[in-house]
Structure formats: C-alpha cells, structure tokens
Amino acid sequence: MTTSQTVSQFLNREVGQIEFNCRVLAQAENKDAPLLERLKFLCIVSSNLDEFFEVRVAGLKEQINLDTPGFGPDGMLPQQVFKVVSEQAHALVARQYQLLNQEILPGLANVGICFLRRAGWNDAQREWIKAYFFRELMPVLTPIGLDISHPFPRVLNKSLNFAVELEGKDAFGRSSGTAIVQAPRVLPRVIQLPGEISSTEYNFVFLSSILHAHVGELFSGMTVLGCYQFRATRNSDLFVDEEEVKNLRIALQGELPQRHFGNAVRLEVADNCSPHMADFLLEQLGLSRDDFYQVEGPVNLVRLMQVPDRIERPDLKYPPFIPGLPVTLQKKKIVDIFQMIRKNDILLHHPYQSFQPVIHFLQQAALDPNVVAIRQTVYRTGTDSLVMTALIAAASSGKEVTVVVELLARFDEEANINWASRLEEVGAHVVYGVVGHKTHAKMAMVVRREEGRLRRYAHVGTGNYHASTARLYTDFGLFTCNEQVCADVNEVFMQLTGLGKAGKLKYLWQSPFSFHTQILAAIDNEAQSARAGKPARIIAKMNALLEPQIIKALYLASAAGVKTDLIIRGVCALRPGVAGLSENIRVRSIVGRFLEHSRIFYFRSGGADAIYLSSADWMDRNFFRRIEICFPVLEAKLKKRVLAEGLNVYLKDNNQAWEMDGEGKYRLKTAHRGKKLCAQETLLTELAAAKPG
C-alpha cells in the first residue's frame, strides 16, 4: 500500500486522543451540567493529558530521538505527529484554563464557593494563613539554592515546584540568584479555611498562594524578586526486560521508583513566570518551546478533583442513585448465588446494576465448605478491595486459591505487588501470567463439590474487579455454570499458570490465538451475506479501534453493503462515511456522566444474532500482546438485554452522542425536534433500584 493510500484510509492515534479530550472538555463546558461535575470533567481532562504526555508523547519523542524510520499506519512521520499534537494540545489547554477562569470559578463564587486570591484575603484570613504556613508548611519545605555545589534537582514527575528568583547574599556570602522549592506530596494542594473566617459558605486557598505569600521566610535576609510554580511531566513507561529477569516482581519493585525520574516531556508554568526563568527551566529539563505550557492558574488541575467531595451541595452534583439488581437476585435478602446461577445465567450491567453480587460470589465461595478452589485474574482492583479480601480469606481457610496478578498494569503496579505479597503470605498461588503478554482478561472461577461431583461456576466481564470504578464505568458481567464455557475459562487459566500448547476452545475467543481471526471471520461472514443479497448487520462498541486489518475488513464489508454502526468512546483510526470506502459505516462516541467501558460485538449471523462481550478493544496490543477473552451471550433473554441496553439505546442517543466524520472531526448530535434521549439517563431510570433525582 502506498503512503497516499494509507493516509486516505487511517486516522492518527495521538490526534484522536486529543479529539477525545476535546469531547470530555465539552462536558465541562456544558452549562446544563451541575457546576461541581463540570469542575470534575475539567480535572479529568488534565488527568487524561498527564497520561497522554507520560506515555504517548514520550513515545513520540523517543521515536524522534532514535530517528525511527518509516511512516505510521496513518502515513505520518513521528515529527509530523508531534507538531500537530503539540499545536492541538496547546489549544486544548488554553481552552481549559479559559473555562476555569471565566466560567467555573466565577460560577462557584456566585454560589458561595470561593477560591481566594492573595489580594482578596482579609486580616483574619491573612493571620490564619500565616500561622498555617509556619505550622504545616515551613517544617517540611527544603529550599535548594542553586550553585556549583547544588545543581538543579531531579524534580519528581508531576510534582509541584517553585522556581524563586532572589537578590542579595546569604550567610555564606553566596548570591546565586535562583532557588528551587519542592512542595512535598503529603501537603494538600487546596486548603479550606475555617468557617469563622470564611467570607462565604466555602473558602479555599491554593497551597501555591500560601507559599507565594511567605516564600521570603525561606530565604532570610534576601529579597525575593519572583516566585513561579512549575511542574514537569516525565516519561513514565517502565522498562523491564521480561526475557532476562529471574523474578518479575523484584525487578519491577526496583524499576518503579525510576518512573518519577524519566526524561522530561512537558513543562507547565504559571502565567507570572518570567521569560528568563522559563528559558532556564526548559534548559535544565532538556525541553524546547514546543514542550512549554504557560497557564493562568494552578499548574495541576487534577488536584482540584478532591474539592467536590468536600462540599455538601447536592444541588451542584449529579443526583445520587442506588444500583439495582437483576430480578433473579431480588427475591431474597440472603441469596445463594450458586443456586441462582444454576437456574439461569445472570447478567449484570454496571453501574446501573450493583457490583455487590460479584463480591458476594467470592465471599460466599470463601465461606462455603463445599468450595474447593477459586481462580481469578487481577488487572486493576484498587488498594482497598473486598474482592481481594475475600480471596485472602479463602486461602486462609485452606481453599485452593490461584490468582493471576498482572504486575504491569500501568500505574497500578505498586498496588498489585502489595496484593500479590499478601496473597502469598496466606498460601495462595500467585502467578504473573505469560512473559510478553499482559493478562487483561476479566474472569473468576469457583469449583464446588455438589452431589458427589465437582461443578464449576464462572464470572466473566468487560471491566476490572474494582468496586469503585464499577460505580463510574459502564461494564457487563456474566455469571454462568455452562459446562463448556466454564471448561473454556478453565483452559485459559491452565495456560496462564502452566505450560503446554493452547487447547481448542468451543465458545471463547482468546488473544493472542483466535480472537483476531474470529473477528475477521465474523466481519467477512456479514460481507458474504450482503453480497448474497441476505440481511447483514454489524454493531460494535468499544473504547478504541486501531488495528489495520480489522479496519480494512470493515471497509470491505461496507463495500459489500453491510450496515455497520461503531460506538467508540475514544480513538478511532477508521474513516466513516467516505465515498468509495466506508459509505455504510457510522461512528459515534458517547461521553457522559459514566465512562463508557463495555466492549460489545453484534453480528446478525444469518439471523442468529451473535452477541459477544469482551475485555478487549480492537487494537494491536489487545489482539497480539495481551491475554484477552471474548465470550458469547448464549441465553436469548440476555441477548435481548445486551442488544437493548448496550447497543440500541446508544444508537438512539441524541444528547451525549458525538458523530464522527471522515476527517476524524466530531459533531455533537442534538435533538432539534422530538424527544431528547440520553442513553445513560434512560438506563439509570430503567435499571437502578433508586432512581436519581
């Protein structure tokens, strides 16, 4: 394929991620959303951009530095991608801070939630803040004067720092003129003033404002000419040669601290930073002006995420709700989950339905004397996990517990290492999957002795075993004791813990073996039906679509006449609606209160309505470098539920749906006439136990 053909068929991944963050920022710009939720979306954009720079931009810079030859699938060189991304990221950040300063903060002030600037402090506030500085800040601050014996410090990744310009000589006669003050991470970035000195219901002060006001106390006898907050973002990819290390966990423990000191990829400074200091910081960090972001406000908006939780103003937040339960689990207060699963498969749709049955499944297994073994994969589960506590309890009681812990789950490595250690301490078998392949599959299995034989029960899902994110992410989970499905799940566990060739699976599609070829075959099957004049249809929902062969197969299916709807939250490299290429493909993205996380694949399959759920996106890594499963929904009643709740309602959304054009640009779909339909609100109304509002 020539470069020009590649350009016409594929969109760029990094540019697509910036586009996605523009859609998230649009949620913060939405005046109909509660004000504190708008602030959260603003913070989410900052969090997303942090990871984008730590991983994707860092990768681009490495390619540029290594002079990596060749074009990407989109036909762009790394230098071209970086230039476009830099321009778009600067525009996005400018838009972000404009929204903060012109709408969010003034809007909060109008309802009694004020972030006080130094110039606005009254005498009582000024005295309290001074006392706070000497009591809480001064003892833990370490100013570093820069001279020949004090070089520029290795500032931690994403830490808050202050560059101070000074005049005069210190006690030793030194007159360097520059110092760095690092704010320890234990210090809160936003401090709430006591009610008795607050001018409104809630008064907050930024840590940076307090330090600016009293930075002179750190440099006795010298004159402070300027104090500028700054933040460096660093390459955070870990390097562990899995082929060489003898113990992955020990190697990873040694590598984790270095994440804070990777090569710098971005510098953020406050708007008051002098040009001289900006140039000095860029030089010290080895960065150029393309990597420089000067902002009007705090350099780390992520830390504002904590503020809404400290404010008791329900009118400024989304209405709370209580997740529901499937009808089969509503009948009794104390449910024998195994008895319920034996009757029928059970489908859970989070967050509209509770994650508690999953926890109950494992807790009951831990206590049940008839349960002999539990197996589970762990990718992300959090630092405080009832799931992991149940597994520890099961192992402590003498049950055979095997846990496949993915140590290389990005940014969750430390938590997973800690859980692995605790599990081993109580006798659980802990394994780390397969070298070179992250274990991303979401599955748990319980083996129970019943009527003289062993029966297997499985839970498979699209999301992590993480109770907190199950309240925020949309995901499906399925309980089943179908013997063949459970046999397939068991086979995958055997691959993860033992050695030997992969066995043939009847129902599950698995990466890196069959998943990719099965998806290609399913797409081709629809294309063949369309060519034969038979009805054909594809609907797929996922986080990202990037794999070139899958995209080409979808183009061929479109040419054959297959009507295809793709619901893709994040990055999509496919160009929809292009004449002669993809006229029959539509792409939409849903961005709302909940993070759309479920992966659902529907193929008409000659009228059989094949529906699969998965932990995997259609990306190279998911198909070829991860252990993933894609599992069918077999019961007709549950198929209808997935089709209705997971796909059709999203295709009807005219409130939070963004439609993508062939150039990768998105337009918010709005209801000009007729009834407004928001998929997430509809599902809350239909499935939650206590409706919002």
Residue numbers annotated as active site? 440
Q: Residue 595 pairs with which residues in a beta bridge?
A: 473
What are the residue ranges of helices labelled H in 629-688?
636-641, 649-652, 679-687
Structure tokens at 504: 């043939």
Q: How many CB atoms lie within 10 A of CB 235?
A: 21
Nearest to residue 268, comparing CAs of 356, 159, 136? 159
- Give alpha helix (H) positions in 122-176: 123-132
Residue 259: how many other CB atoms lie within 10 Å = 19
Specify the 3-state DSSP secondary structure of 647. helix
Q: State the Cα torsion 545-549-554-558 to the nearest 10°.
A: 140
Contact 47, 12 (CB under 8 A): no
- For residue 204, the surrounding DSSP H or E stretch is strand 202-206
Q: Residue 222: helix, strand or coil by DSSP?
A: coil
Please check whether residue 254 is in contact with residue 305, taking contact to mean a CB–CB distance below 8 angstroms.
no
Residue 555 DSSP class: H
What are the CA-CA distances from residue 48 to residues 41, 67, 128, 236, 616 (Å)?
A: 10, 27, 35, 14, 20
Q: Cβ(562)–Cβ(536) under 8 Å? A: yes
First to last CA, the chain: 55
Say how far apart CA 645 and CA 685 lie, in whole Å. 12
Q: Which amino acid is at 521?
A: A
Q: Coil, strand, or helix at residue 234? A: strand
Question: Side chain identity at 392, as an amino acid letter?
Answer: I
Among 120, 136, 467, 113, CA closest to 310: 113
Q: How many CB atoms lie within 10 A of CB 244?
A: 7
Positions of E strands within 406-562? 429-431, 438-439, 442-450, 453-461, 473-480, 509-511, 537-542
Bridge pairing between strands 595-596 and 666-668: unpaired
Distances (CA, A) of 139 to 125, 127, 182, 217, 540: 21, 18, 13, 12, 56
Contact between 678 and 692 under an 8 Å Cβ cutoff? The reply is: no
CA 646: distance to chain centroid? 20
CA atoms within a 13 Å half-sphere pointing along the CA-CB vector of 612:
24
How many helices (DSSP H) and strands (DSSP E) are in the chain?
Answer: 21, 27
Kindly list the distances between the CA atom of residue 109 and the CA atoms of 36, 230, 313, 379, 647, in Å, as whole numbers in the listed order: 12, 26, 13, 41, 40
As given in the structure block, the two tokens for residue 60 are 């681009």
Residue 295 region by backbone torsions, left for phi larger than 0, else alpha for psi between -120 and 50, else beta: beta
CA distances for 125 relative to 140, 169, 445, 452, angstroms = 22, 32, 58, 74
* Residue closest to 491 by CA, chosen among 513, 468, 520: 513
Closest CA to 265 of 94, 76, 64: 64
**What does DSSP assign to residue 133?**
I
